[in-house]
Amino acid sequence: MKSTIAKRCALICVATVAAGLAVNQASAAPSDEAVKSVVVRFSDLDLSQPQDARTLYSRIQRAAQLACGEAETADLARFARYHNCIEQAVTNAVATVNVHQVTEIHQAQSLRQSRS
């Protein structure tokens, strides 16, 4: 049952990543610039397995990086918005997937980042 639910969440993850981007890029992007979304597929994964949960988390992170665009290191405000965009998109996607192991991975990653 869980794997069926997880497979159906793939499209919801896309919507969540896009929603996170819309909130975070609204102040940075001109109104005519479209919000990007990236499909995260994971029907090939068994999310009850730790390695597969880590694989999904990596896919979510890569999708967020692609959707948020290039980091502009010359402008600190834009660089901060880029990182906020990624953080929000990943957080939204993880919440949408709602799989305990993926949530734990995200919480551990967020804790490591807040300490650095």
What is the residue-wise DSSP string for 19-48? HHHHHHHTTTS-TTSPPP------TT--TT
* pLDDT at residue 75, as a whole number: 84
Domains of the chain: total: 1
List pLDDT tens digits, range 84-111.
999 999 999 999 999 999 999 999 999 8
Separation of alpha carbons 76 and 62, rounded Å: 22
Separation of alpha carbons 30 and 50, rounded Å: 41
List pLDDT tens digits, range 50-70.
999 999 999 999 999 999 988
Q: Find the domain containing 17 and state its range.
A: 2-115
Q: Specify the pTM.
A: 0.72
